[in-house]
Chains A and B, each alone.
Chain A
Amino acid sequence: MSPDSAPAAQEPDIPAAVHGLPPSLWALFLAFARMSLAGFGGVLVFARRAIVEQHRWMTADEFNETFALCHFLPGPNIVNLSMVFGSRLRGIAGGVAAFAGLLLPPTLIMTVLAIIYARFGDVDVLRRSLAGISCAAVGLLIAVVFRMMTPLLKRMDAAALILMLAVFTAIGVLRLPLRAVLLVAIPLSIGVTSLMRRKVAA
């Protein structure tokens, strides 16, 4: 057994897509449109919920790896995720379907709001409601971070947890510049992961 498949064996959540047929293009479009329209204050919360918990298109680990890749590539990470995720299930057409589902409905809404704003131009009530929504959105973000951590906690992956904590402290608490932190953290993490895998394989 290759070291790559070892964690998957302990993971109880087996994605339905692995066994069943991949979803149709229309289903992909609809799923991403739905998570996008639900995504007030960020889509990640709803994307993870739909992909991992509801449709079981990916395991928690696969989602983490796909999101991490999209997070470290330039550009809006959820938009990247839609393209990468859709294309893994249904090729480039699937990528475009998910991308269009994610962007088309909210762009239309946003354009209508822009027209309304240009006419009336006062968003004070909006801003007051926004203050409350932002507080709740931060709470949701904290919860999704915990959920994304669970595969690491279940495996008792000490090295990964320490790295995660170090990045959190460096950026969140010490406010060190992102570029410098990543310049140290990425090679370090690759080195540690490589060492751990060699140990598992040996």
Chain B
Amino acid sequence: MTSENPIWALISIFGLMSLFAVGGAAAAVPEMHRIAVDVHHWMTDKQFADAYAIAQLSPGPNVLIVTLIGYAVAGIPGALAATLAMCLPTALLAYFVSRLLNRPSQSRWPGLIQAALVPLSIGLMAASALILAQSTDRTIAALLLTATVALIASVSRINPLWLLLAGGLLGFAGIV
């Protein structure tokens, strides 16, 4: 598996990793840390923690932490290669599976399976919200902020960006 060219290493590692990342990008972060810091020494522990923070802070899917890892390994081509390797194969897989399930047919299974996954998916999302809340909300102020945002976003149609901005300002001011 070890190839001379770092681009190929990035493509094979992240391409393979994405195929095992069931349940979203957050589930793959520990594995990314192991590969990038412990196995290949592409980054230090602090660099990885900073990359994680930057990926959370910037817009876009949080999986784009791989863009930063790719950049650390091989500059701009590395950033692009890592991003595509992490995102494209599974997106194509999802495309084919979805087409298979939505093909007009007499079978009642595809619709049944998709409907059966809905409550499990929502339950999982709720669980990750709880787990995230437990790791982020360590102070009363932080807990209050989360609860207030959840309430406002549930009952109003305010653009969520304003709520994130308010959170960022409170954090910047050192309140939460």
Which of A12-20, A23-31, A145-153 touches B? A145-153
Report whether A113 and B118 are in contact in the complex, using a CB–CB cutoff of 8 Å. no
Which of B5-13, B34-42, B120-128 touches A? B120-128
Taking CB atoms and an 8 Å cut-off, the chain B residues in 122-154 that contact chain A are 122-133, 136-137, 142, 145-154
Report whether A135 and B167 are in contact in the complex, using a CB–CB cutoff of 8 Å. yes
Min Cβ gap A138→B in Å is: 5
Taking CB atoms and an 8 Å cut-off, the chain B residues in 33-73 that contact chain A are 50-51, 53-64, 67-68, 71-72
The chain A residue sitting closest to B162, CB to CB, is: A136
Choose one: A65, A109, A197; the contact of B118 (CB below 8 Å).
Answer: A65
Q: How far is the CA of A144 from the CA of B80 in the complex (A)?
A: 31
Q: How far is the CA of A80 from the CA of B95 in the complex (A)?
A: 8
Q: Mark A119-159, 1 if CB is under 8 A from B, else 0.
A: 00101011111111111111111111111110010000100
B1 close to chain A: CB less than 8 A: no
Report whether B67 and A110 are in contact in the complex, using a CB–CB cutoff of 8 Å. yes
Report whether B145 and A132 are in contact in the complex, using a CB–CB cutoff of 8 Å. yes
Report whether B60 and A109 are in contact in the complex, using a CB–CB cutoff of 8 Å. yes
The chain A residue sitting closest to B83, CB to CB, is: A107
With contact pairs A133-B171, A136-B149 given, residues A166 and B95 touching in the complex (Cβ less than 8 Å): no
Q: How far is the CA of A164 from the CA of B76 in the complex (A)?
A: 42
Q: Mark A48-87, 1 if CB is under 8 A from B, else 0.
A: 0100010000000000111111111111111111111001
The chain B residue sitting closest to A84, CB to CB, is: B98
Report whether B19 and A111 are in contact in the complex, using a CB–CB cutoff of 8 Å. no
Report whether A132 and B167 are in contact in the complex, using a CB–CB cutoff of 8 Å. yes
Q: How far is the CA of A157 from the CA of B170 in the complex (A)?
A: 40
The chain A residue sitting closest to B161, CB to CB, is: A38
Report whether B94 and A75 are in contact in the complex, using a CB–CB cutoff of 8 Å. yes
Report whether A109 and B160 are in contact in the complex, using a CB–CB cutoff of 8 Å. no
Min Cβ gap B37→A in Å is: 16
B-side contacts of A22, CB under 8 Å: none
Q: How far is the CA of A146 from the CA of B167 in the complex (A)?
A: 21
Q: How far is the CA of A41 from the CA of B65 in the complex (A)?
A: 12
B-side contacts of A144, CB under 8 Å: 125, 153
Interface size class of A (residues with CB under 8 A): 35 or more
Report whether B117 and A110 are in contact in the complex, using a CB–CB cutoff of 8 Å. no
The chain A residue sitting closest to B87, CB to CB, is: A79
Report whether B113 and A133 are in contact in the complex, using a CB–CB cutoff of 8 Å. no
Min Cβ gap B15→A in Å is: 10
A-side contacts of B113, CB under 8 Å: 190
Report whether B160 and A46 are in contact in the complex, using a CB–CB cutoff of 8 Å. yes
Taking CB atoms and an 8 Å cut-off, the chain A residues in 161-185 that contact chain B are 161, 163-168, 170-173, 178, 182, 185
Q: How far is the CA of A102 from the CA of B136 in the complex (A)?
A: 26
Min Cβ gap A140→B in Å is: 5
Min Cβ gap B115→A in Å is: 5
Report whether A140 and B149 are in contact in the complex, using a CB–CB cutoff of 8 Å. yes
Q: How far is the CA of A138 from the CA of B56 in the complex (A)?
A: 12
Binding site for B on A (CB under 8 A): 4, 36-46, 49, 53, 64-84, 87-88, 92, 95, 99, 102-103, 105-107, 109-111, 113-115, 117-118, 121, 123, 125-149, 152, 157, 160-161, 163-168, 170-173, 178, 182, 185-186, 189-190, 192-194, 197
